[in-house]
Amino acid sequence: MFELEEFTLEDLPEDAAPIQERLESWKQWADLETKRRSIFALFIIDAQLARYHGGLPIGKHVLNPLQSAAPHAVFHATTVDEWSTKMRQQWKDPHPLREIYNMIFESKLPRGASIYPFTISVLLEGIQAVILERNFAGGDAVGVVSEAVLVQALLTIKTKCLGNPEVPIGNLELHIRWKALCLDLIVDTVKLFRQLGGEGPPQNIFGVGQKPTIPSEGPNRWTQSPKGRRALLFAIGIQDLAERLPVGRVTAPSMPPAVFSAATIYCAYCRAGQADVVVPQELDWAIIAGVEGHNDGPIASKCRQFIETQRLQPGFRRLNLRHSLYQFQAMLRAMSTHWGIAEEMRQQLYPWTSFGSE
């Protein structure tokens, strides 16, 4: 599956070459790129399915030897002249994915690296696979990446890839996916969902979970812990971005579970009698993710104080999480026109909106 011939700029015919030669070269490149993207799509689905059934991915994503995907403009060229021009303007001989993962985990990825949106989505699912391995192991174990290393890898992707001019800040799905991964590193939201239970219809979304993910005494103590508050802030970040997704647009397969993960955190707070929350107005995602040694600024200081003590300095916002659960239902309804599982997730939210203090 990984034995694909690689195309380089040296293989690109000159503009003066016969048209048939140029067309044949374009066809060869498009065939290779389509196969590459098809394999990447399988990796994306592999990580998603593993999360649903509570197991491990089939493939070892971080060992993927294929080169990263081409820029969107090159792949979607409609004429051979446009393809040739875009190739010379934008194409750079790409790194294999496993080399990119090495640079990410060693914090050696250069700022502005030529990594484009589709490849970033594949990289994020590879991080999801590593997080699944850690959650499956229940914490530190031989061969399992530590939480600190994962946090730093996620921050590297955010600062070096999501900030890339080739990836506009308006590309909400990648930013939502990033926040969902940070959330799952704090708490396995699949296990949390099963632990919270509910009074709705039997769920056919997730497989059997392992041991509980929050203390056995229930959500009340967990929501008052630093981890619980960090999870809440990431859930709020997901909601803020998801509300900006265009209604009716086909979303990535990772969007329904991201919304449902945020809803699960809100449910835990509602179950603990904390449906009304007050949080900092501005957020420092490095602090919330748990990056050690992060430089303090006014925003970072406020976030750290809230996470550690729940105290707020001037500049905060109030939210009613039960009302937000209704908003999540509307989001999932819109997504269900393209992803059927979103409808099952939406149905699970019905009883959650009525939860009060227990």
17-29 tens-digit pLDDT: 999 999 999 999 9
**Which of 256, 266, 274, 351 lies closest to 310, judged by CA?**
274
Burial 17-46 (b: 16+ CB within 10 A, else e): eeeeebeebbeebbebbeebbebbeebbeb
Q: What angle (nearest 5°) sits at the alpha carbon of residue 137, between those of residues 135 and 142?
A: 125
CB 294 within 8 A of CB 287: yes
Mean of the per-residue pLDDT values of the chain: 86
Distance CA 304, CA 286 (A): 10
State pLDDT tens for residues 73-130: 899 999 999 999 999 988 877 888 999 999 999 988 887 677 888 899 999 999 999 9
Q: Which structure tokens are listed for 315?
A: 């500049």
State pLDDT tens for residues 251-291: 788 999 999 999 999 999 998 999 999 999 999 999 999 88
Q: Which structure tokens are listed for 264?
A: 């699960």
Distance CA 301, CA 304 (A): 5
Distance CA 6, CA 36 (A): 10
Torsions phi, psi for 259 (to 5 deg): -65, -40
